[in-house]
Amino acid sequence: MSSKIETILQSLTLEEKISLLAGKDFWETVPIPNKGVPAIKTSDGPNGARGEVFTGGTRAACFPAAVCSAATWDPANAKRIGHALADEAKTKSARVILAPTMCNHRHPLGGRNFESFSEDPYLTGKLAANVVKGLQENGIAATIKHFVANEQETDRLQVDEIVSERALRDIYMKPFEIAIKEANPLAVMTSYNKINGTHADSHQFLLKQVLRGEWGWDGLVMSDWGGVNSVADSLNAGLDLEMPGPTRWRSVDVVMEAVKKGEVTEATITERARNVLNLIEKVGGFNNPEIPPERSIVDPKHSKLIRDVAGQGITLLKNDGVLPLKKEDVKGKKIGLFGLAKEALIHGGGSASLNAHYRVTSEEGLKSAYGNDVEFKFAKGASTYRLIPPLSKGCKDRQGNDGWTIELFKEGQTDKPIKTTNGIKEAVFSPLLEQSEQSARNTEVKFTTTFVPTESGSHYLGCSGTGPTVVRINGNFVHEQTQNSPDPMGFLFGGNPEKEFRVQFTEGESYRIDIHSKPPVSANDSDRGILSGLPGFRLGLMYEREHDVDMAVEAKQIAKDCDMAIVFTGHTPDWETEGQDQFSFSLPRDGSQDKLVETVASVNPKTIVVNSTGVAVALPWLSKVSALVQAWFPGQEAGNAIADILSGTVNPSGRLPISWPKRIEDAPAYGNFPGDRTKDGQLTVKYDEGVFVGYRHYDRLGADKIHFPFGFGLSYTTFAISNTHVSQTCPGTFKASATLKNTGPVSGATVLQLYVGRKQRSSEHPVKTLAAFRKVLVEKGQEANVDMEVGFKDFAYFDEGAKKWAVEQGQYDFSFGQSAGQVEGVVTVYVEGMMRSKL
């Protein structure tokens, strides 16, 4: 216990202690200068320290998304990223990074799966722990999130996750437990959702009994942004810090009243304040309270790290011999590039997005790799936009200048504006991105322009708002949205679905367009989160010829004329983002990407697909292409890392951190995602699959239900496992060893994976569970002897009846393989078993 902290606590009034328990603003804590308490700054996020502005802010390094990092299966990479993230945080004057995200991949349609590591809690926990170590070794606090069961975005502020205690402990809490015990993160962020009827921020079982009790952790618990749902309950459960500020729940008057009523004790307030002060001290806030302006610094070491880790995470899933495209083999050839080749799919949408220092597209990476030795041809070939581009061209505001006129009105009082601004560039209003955020709260907004089209005919318009929104043209009603946005934060991140409609325009004529948008309407103000009371909308326009064109026609001709074709598919940040779950298991938009692959492959037998998503997607064309590369979201060096793999400069060693089903109907949570609504409108999702998530589920269904198993990945060489051996070194601890031989033509790395399961199978338990892994580099023709240690904690299960962790007595198979579907050696061991309260 710090004497400095105790001295400060004794000097603080109760009111001052209460003031510390919520943020000052969106990113900083509350300072008390006359008592020597400074503010400290936080920053997103999981794949880069973005800084304080959501869009277009200070440039920052964009690291590979967590799922790409996980595909390296190398905790050392996670630690290196942690070190670099800490350096980046310092350039943004942040002392706390809101990362890593470590929720389980429960379902392929999970909107933030890309931001988390894996479907497997052991793999996730080991990688997350090393990110935490890397951050905190360099003086930046890690915030592991979101605790717990935040596996979907649909109605995430209120959804009730019904989860058994065994599934909670075995699957969803396990990564957090590993990270807490192995890395001691300084902060934990609670999730938005309810768990078994209680919001996470007020969950006594999670925060008091387990986190601070059984696990003995003593750091700071903060809410997700807008994720507080009570006053006394959250304080008593152990939520130290409400974010962001200014407070919505913890005003001094309200908390003082709760103290007077006996709902919260002064001792509880003191303990919450102590945890805030402890965090400030541990990150050096007292020693150096300054929060200087943000900086953008391109560090070549970070650029190299990003390229290296991305190259190790990119996963080769199919190769009929067309890869690698060695420079000497393709010299003088024509290579067709299609789809998203000119876009750098470096991250998903939402709080993991940022304004990257730079973005290397796949086209740029390939041209850099091959120079003038190869002739590249390009055709987009598919419509991939999620939202029609905002209307901006041909618009004049009320003063006759380019743009729109915006008016803000007090809610319900639209006769006289409280603020008018002209020259707004486009038909978008996102109040959290405006300097006037607070002045926009509880207002209605009107946008007005005079639009002169450059073409006659039918035009497509698309509109969406955070709340009820109406569009009129020349005074005539053309569109109305009566419902709230399904997730206002999703609207902020640009991914909410919009309603498209068609309007006839005549070239050269003038049309007055008026948009009127209101804040979200809700009986319960808290269910809108930090966007409660804030209006927002967007209006897009696209000419019919652009909207309805068959883009695959041009692609087909180019593909026919080329020696080989590379189709780049994937999700832009609008399609895979925080705030919403995946629209479909199929690639967007409306089948256009799948059609493009089919079209190109029909005329070019050497068709390679490079897919950039954070999730598994449908692959209806898999049998028709020669190669498939899963690039994930590899960060700002994306194009260079992809070119490294395609050219053979880097031998692929990525391995899937997820299972890849053939059909969404075969996913473990199918039918229980995103849940069902009760009569009162409450969305409830039952985790009826229990512990049978990912490969645990597919092990019971059979290999024909998946395209690729968990842990799978190809190389430009081959490997064989032999000499498998397991011995018990002491009670509850085992030493496993094997020989790994490179049997192919080039040096490379693979992942030796060790799974443990009961020899006598049971419907109550998985066939096998990942219990250890090692990534190993082996020179061609050489062998490596690999040792791994396994403990009871790595394959125990939680016995709900006994309320204890258990390993039952009996025979266990220790299975050695290069994926969950490729077991190459099994050693059966008799285990005495154990049962204990803590691991």
Helix (H) or strand (E) holding 24: none
Q: Which of 614, 674, 826 is nearest to 67 (CA)?
A: 614
What is the distance between the alpha carbons of residues 54 and 449, in angstroms, rounded to a whole number? Answer: 27
Average pLDDT, the chain: 94
Cβ atoms of residues 240 and 272 within 8 Å: yes
Non-local CB neighbours of 606 within 8 Å, separated by 6+ positions: 322, 563, 564, 565, 626
- Interatomic CA distance for residues 485 and 522, integer angstroms: 11
CA atoms within 13 A on the CB side of 413: 8
Parallel/antiparallel/unpaired status of strands 220-222 and 187-190:
parallel
Q: How many whole angstroms separate alpha carbon 722 and alpha carbon 272?
A: 55
φ/ψ of 559, rounded to 5, equals -60, -35
Of 135, 96, 48, nearest to 353 by C-alpha is: 48
Contact 245, 261 (CB under 8 A): no
Q: Are 192 and 161 in contact (CB under 8 A)?
A: no
Nearest to 152 by CA among 582, 696, 575: 582
Among 502, 534, 500, CA closest to 519: 534
- φ/ψ of 17, rounded to 5, equals -60, -45
- Sheet bearing 537-543, strands edge to edge: 428-429, 537-543, 457-465, 499-505
Following DSSP, what letter does each residue of 490-537 receive, concatenated? HHHTT-S--EEEEEEE-TT--EEEEEEE-PPP-SSGGGGGGGTT---E
* Total count of residues recorded for the chain: 839
Q: Which domains does the chain have, with CATH numbers?
A: 395-548 (2.60.120.260), 717-836 (2.60.40.10)
Phi-psi region of 412 (alpha: psi -120 to 50; beta: other; left: phi over 0): left
pLDDT for position 125: 98
Q: What is the pLDDT of residue 432?
A: 61
- H or E stretch covering 181: helix 174-183
Point out the residues of the chain with pLDDT beneath 50.
434-437, 525
**The pLDDT of residue 521:** 79
As to burial, measured by CB atoms within 10 angstroms (0-12 exposed, 13-18 middle, 19+ buried), residue 246 is middle
Nearest to 225 by CA among 621, 475, 680, 529: 529
User: What's the pLDDT at 436?
Assistant: 41
Give all strands of the β-sheet with 822-831 in edge-to-edge order: 769-778, 748-758, 810-819, 822-831
CA 594 – CA 621 distance, rounded (Å): 7
Is 0.85 surpassed by the pTM of this model? yes
Assign 459 to helix, strand or coil. Answer: strand
Using DSSP bridges, classify how beta strands 834-836 and 804-807 pair: parallel, antiparallel or unpaired: antiparallel
pLDDT of residue 380: 96
Tell me what pLDDT residue 535 has: 86
Q: How many CA atoms lie within 13 A of 761 on its CB side?
A: 8
User: Which alpha helices (H) appear in 314-428, and where do they start and end?
Assistant: 327-330, 362-370
Q: How many C-alpha atoms does 307 have within 13 Å on its Cβ side? A: 21
Q: What is the DSSP string of 602-669?
A: HH-SSEEEEEE-SS----TTGGG-SEEEE-----TTHHHHHHHHHHTSS------SS-EESSGGGSTT
Residue 124's Cα: distance from chain center in Å?
13
- Relative to beta strand 96-97, strand 187-190 is unpaired
Nearest CA-CA partner of 793 in 741, 836, 749: 836
Question: For residue 746, how far is the Cα from the chain centroid?
Answer: 35
Q: In this structure, what are the phi and psi dihedrals at residue 41, rounded to the nearest 5 degrees?
A: -110, 140
Q: Are 253 and 14 in contact (CB under 8 A)?
A: no
DSSP letter assigned to residue 730: E
pLDDT at 435: 39
Instruction: Please state the φ and ψ torsions of residue 208, each to the nearest 5 degrees.
Output: -95, -55
Is 612 in contact with 575 (CB distance < 8 Å)? no
Q: How far apart are the first and last CA of the chain?
A: 26
> For residues 259-295, b (16+ Cβ closer than 10 Å) or e, as one string?
beeeebeeebbeebbbbbbbbbbbbebbeeeebeebe
Tokens representing 287?
């020693």
Strands 564-570 and 607-612: parallel
Query: What span, in angstroms and rounded, lies between the C-alpha atoms of 63 and 204?
Result: 35
The 3-class SS string of 192-243 reads: CCEECCEEHHHCHHHHHHHHHHHCCCCCEEECCCCCCCCCHHHHHHCCCEEC
Rounded-to-integer distance, Cα 75 and Cα 79, Å: 6
Provide the pairing of β-strand 607-612 with 627-630: parallel
Residue 487 · residue 522 · CB < 8 Å? no
| 511-517/220-222 β-pairing | unpaired
Q: How far is CA 603 from CA 318, 338, 556, in A?
A: 19, 14, 7
Q: How far apart are alpha carbons 828 and 820 in whole angstroms?
A: 17
Q: What are phi and psi of 183, to 5 degrees?
A: -130, -15
Catalytic residues: 224
User: Exposed, middle or buried, 378 (CB in 10 Å: 0-12/13-18/19+)?
Assistant: middle
- pLDDT at residue 434, rounded to an integer: 46
Amino acid sitting at position 43: S
Work out whether strand 443-451 and strand 404-410 pair parallel, antiparallel, or are unpaired.
Answer: antiparallel
Question: To which residue do tokens 């009566």 refer?
Answer: 482
Burial class (CB in 10 A: 0-12, 13-18, 19+), 523: exposed
Backbone angles phi, psi at 600, to 5 degrees: -65, -45
